[in-house]
Amino acid sequence: MALSANYMPYAPAAPVLTLIRRARDGKLQDAYTTDQLTRLGIAEGNADRVQKALTFLGLIDDDTAVKTPTFDRLSRVTTEEYPSAMAEVIQNGYAPVLAVIDPQEANDIAIHDAFRGYDPAAQRARMVGLFLALCREAGLVEGGPIEGRRAHVRPRARSKAAGTPRPQPTPTGRTSVEEHAPMPEANGNRQEAGGQDYRMLGELIRQLPRDGRWTTGKRDRWIQAVTATVDLLVTQVADHEVGPS
């Protein structure tokens, strides 16, 4: 699975970061094939993107998807050392981008321009979203680490009792592959039995400014978070695969 020299990853940030966090919690996998990523709860439509992002960052091997010494090191450094170790991973992977911009100082236009010419061109906004989320994780830009959705560490299976609600995760201080903070149910926000859980989108809606004002940077980060969340929750399929409404 060698990546082209012109490739830039555009996976949703939440599962990429949470796999790294799970590794730091002592749950490091030996290999990260697309099948294994799907079993960890990552949507099938995103598994290949996540695998390529891990490869791009030098965390798994190009051919075997086996963890690299870099991934091992990232999982073992102390909490104090983690931001610097993460920054080193980002600097190695994104060296051509960081050669032309400082993500802490560059505006949105400059950051997007730094990704021009990379493939796939149509995914530039998602490239930028992943890059900025990784930079936040390492403290290279302001905003703090992003949160993910609830984890599914076992293969997906329907409950034997129809309509039985899935148990809510117990807060642990760190998010897992698909984790989100619980949110009161409201009309239009209640999860249908057996359906997808979109409450994280509701949580993002609640982050809109109460006074109706915010900076361009905050607006763009919010839109990127919504885009990443939709990509994580919804598997993209071809038009002909979607049945009539």
DSSP 220-231: HHHHHHHHHHHH
Residue 72 lies in a domain: yes
List pLDDT tens digits, range 162-220: 444 444 444 444 343 443 333 333 344 434 444 556 666 776 787 788 778 878 777 77
232 confidence band (pLDDT: 50, 70, 90): low
**Is 70 exceeded by the pLDDT of residue 243?**
no
DSSP line for 193-240: TTS---HHHHHHHTTS-TTS---HHHHHHHHHHHHHHHHHHS----GG
* Number of folded domains that form the chain: 1
Domain of 54? 7-150+174-182+197-234
Q: Does residue 137 form part of some domain? A: yes
What's the pLDDT score for residue 56?
96
- Of 130 and 243, the structure prediction assigns the larger pLDDT to 130
pLDDT > 70? residue 153: no
- pLDDT for 146 equals 76
Higher-pLDDT residue of 157, 45: 45
Q: What is the 8-class DSSP label of residue 148?
A: -
Cis peptide bond upstream of 120, omega within 30: yes
- For residue 169, being part of any structural domain is answered with no
Q: Is the pTM of this model over 0.75?
A: no
127, part of any domain: yes
Q: Is residue 45 part of a domain?
A: yes
Report residue 163 CA to chain centroid gap.
Answer: 29
Nearest in space to 180 (alpha carbons), one of 206, 217, 158, 156: 206
Contact 70, 93 (CB under 8 A): no
Mean pLDDT for the chain?
A: 78
pLDDT (0 to 100) of residue 206: 72
pLDDT at residue 139 tops 50: yes
The SS3 of residue 88 is: helix
Distance CA 67, CA 51 (A): 11
Q: Is residue 2 a part of any domain in this protein?
A: no
Is 70 exceeded by the pLDDT of residue 223?
yes
Q: What is the mean pLDDT of residues 105-118?
A: 94
pLDDT at 154 over 50: no
Name the token pair of 101.
Answer: 């911009």
- Render the burial of 190-221: b for 16+ CB within 10 Å, e for the rest: eeeeeeeebbbbebbeeeeeeeeeeeeeeebb
Of the listed ranges 53-57, 67-71, 212-216, the least confidently predicted one is 212-216
pLDDT above 70 covers what percent of the chain? 70
d(CA 2, CA 69): 18
